[in-house]
Structure 1
Amino acid sequence: MKRFLAFAAVTLTAAAGMAVAAVPAQATPVKGASALSAVSAVDAAIIADGVRLRSSAGGSTVIGYLYYGDYGQLLSSSGGWCRFRLGGRSASGLPSGTTGWVSCSYLATEDGWKFNGPAVDTLQE
């Protein structure tokens, strides 16, 4: 419930500062990572601290770090990795619109979807 309320607060904050893209009402809810590829843009939030935003899925180049409550859009997914675009300035200072790859396990969508597979990115290098 705390995560839902935090996500709702982030979504409302984002809506107050900018137009938030929404999935059409007739869209089917996203149930798994493979279904994300069919959705053009899904609002999502980071649900952990220190999540690495990478230049490629599983790549070694780290663009920056994301923190609980950073929000944006899921653009696609591949093998447990989600392509993510920031909807606003991140807690670590990354600018709005920065795009990269994060482990899907650290994301949750507005409709409650959360990747159920194992984390593909750990805090150990």
Structure 2
Amino acid sequence: MKFFVLGHRADNPATTESPAAAAATVSYLARYVNRDAVLARCGPGPNFAPAGHLFYLDRGVKLREADGWVQLRLRYRSASGMAEGTTAWLPETWTSPCTPPGP
């Protein structure tokens, strides 16, 4: 017969992060364009065909990255008219992680 001890277990520690701290964390998947009038590409590099222009504060979700480039899926219609859900590649330095609004 086995007996189980109730309480804190070392292999399953309780979380110590508060809900407020968890809400203030940065999402590295949600990104915005930090420059104006950048040429988005169909692939990860300058040799790929242009997909359109993105402008400052256009936002998307990072799908993947390769050789310093990130592929974004637009969350909204872009300022240049690219449709919501369109995917495009940008140099990673031209994007920044989205942060939640501060208090």
TM over 0.5: same fold?
A: yes
For 1:29 and 1:91, the matched residues in 2 are separated by 24
SS of corresponding position for 2:40: strand
Quickly say closer, same or farther: Cα 1:78–1:88, change in 2 above 3 A. Answer: same
Which has the bigger relative contact order, CA under 8 A and spacing at least 6? 2
Matched, 1:61 2:49: yes
* Partner of residue 65, structure 2: 77
Shift of 1:86: 0.5
Shift of 1:29: 6.2
Which residue, out of 53, 66, 87, partners 1:99?
Answer: 87
For 1:90 and 1:106, the matched residues in 2 are separated by 15
Over the aligned positions, Cα root-mean-square deviation in angstroms equals 2.3
* Partner of residue 45, structure 1: 32
Extract structure 1 runs of 4+ deviating beyond 4 A: none
TM-score by length of 2: 0.66
Shift of 1:46: 0.5
SS of corresponding position for 1:48: coil
Structure 2 unaligned residues grouped into runs of 5+: 1-21
Look at both structures and tell me which one has the larger radius of gyration over its CA atoms: 2
The structure where helix makes up a greater share of residues is 1
| Aligned residues between the structures | 77
For 1:29 and 1:68, the matched residues in 2 are separated by 19
Q: Between the two proteins, what is the percent identity of the paired residues?
A: 33
Quickly say closer, same or farther: Cα 1:62–1:29, change in 2 above 3 A. Answer: same
Aligned residues of 2:39 and 2:51 also touching (Cα < 8 A): yes
Aligned residues of 2:40 and 2:53 also touching (Cα < 8 A): yes
